[in-house]
Chain A
């Protein structure tokens, strides 16, 4: 079982009902697509929107990305500062 940190930002924290934290993943989960399949379906649907980006260990990633124990995985809606 791999422990990772899942983080949700902006409206996604509202959708998840949490800002995130450490999660123990079942052994068969090796990438972000498998992670989304494992999450609660209505949350996964929000996270699969094309506008949502995945940040792994402070780098924005595109497509399906491998997950390793200890990774910090952030789900972010479109960004807007200023």
Chain B
């Protein structure tokens, strides 16, 4: 299940819905990304997310399919917001259900690393002194590279 939406979402409701869809899962792992009130010591009053309607959904759909091919999952959920968000608001929800914990935990970790570097979103931080567009950090690319090994399905630049 993938949703890209402007409206806020309720992480607890998303988790419950995922658990309901996963049948006899022995493990449900979730990640919730939250807008920080400051980044590198600069105050952030608002985070604006630009997205590419159609393309964004299609890229996340491919990532989710690759996660399902890579880990034995019973259900998967990605909810991502766009538009204007304030500090403390959930921006992304990733949840995976599996028979055992390792697959669920790793699928969430894998999807977050890919979302951070490959999902078509562009973030602008607005603060008291102006705004700045932010790009993935070196650490994000290093995290992403952990999942790429020779011969793996998603091994590409």
Instruction: Digitize B114-146: 1 where CB-to-A-CB distance is under 8 Å, 0 elsewhere.
Output: 011111111110000000011110001000000
Q: Say whether B92 contacts A81, CB under 8 Å.
A: yes
Q: A77 and B52 in contact (CB under 8 A), knowing A82-B91, A82-B115, A82-B116?
A: no
Q: Say whether B50 contacts A82, CB under 8 Å.
A: no
Chain A CB within 8 A of B8 CB: no
Q: Say whether B121 contacts A81, CB under 8 Å.
A: yes
Interfacial chain B residues near A55, Cβ < 8 Å: 52, 55
Q: Say whether A80 contacts B121, CB under 8 Å.
A: yes
A76–B54 alpha-carbon span in the complex (Å): 14
A11–B48 alpha-carbon span in the complex (Å): 12
A10–B86 alpha-carbon span in the complex (Å): 18
Distance to closest chain B CB from A16 (angstroms): 13
Interfacial chain B residues near A77, Cβ < 8 Å: 122, 133, 135
A14–B50 alpha-carbon span in the complex (Å): 12
**Interface size of A in residues (CB-CB distance below 8 Å):** 17
Distance to closest chain B CB from A6 (angstroms): 13
From A11, A13, A81, A82, residue with most partner B Cβ within 10 Å: A81
From A9, A58, A82, residue with most partner B Cβ within 10 Å: A82
Q: Say whether B33 contacts A82, CB under 8 Å.
A: yes
Interfacial chain A residues near B115, Cβ < 8 Å: 81-82
Distance to closest chain A CB from B157 (angstroms): 9
Chain A CB within 8 A of B24 CB: no
Contact of A76 (CB < 8 Å), options: B80, B92, B120, B133? B120
Interfacial chain B residues near A27, Cβ < 8 Å: none
Q: Say whether B92 contacts A9, CB under 8 Å.
A: no
Q: Which residues of A, 1-44, contact B by the 8 Å Cβ criterion?
A: 7, 9-11, 13-14
Chain A residue with Cβ nearest B51: A9
Q: Say whether A74 contacts B119, CB under 8 Å.
A: no
Q: Say whether B116 contacts A80, CB under 8 Å.
A: yes
Contact of A79 (CB < 8 Å), options: B54, B92, B122, B124? B122
Known: A79-B119, A79-B120, A79-B136. 7 other contacts (CB 8 A): A9-B120, A9-B122, A10-B133, A13-B50, A74-B55, A80-B119, A80-B134
**Chain A interface residues (CB < 8 Å from chain B):** 7, 9-11, 13-14, 51, 55, 58, 74, 76-82
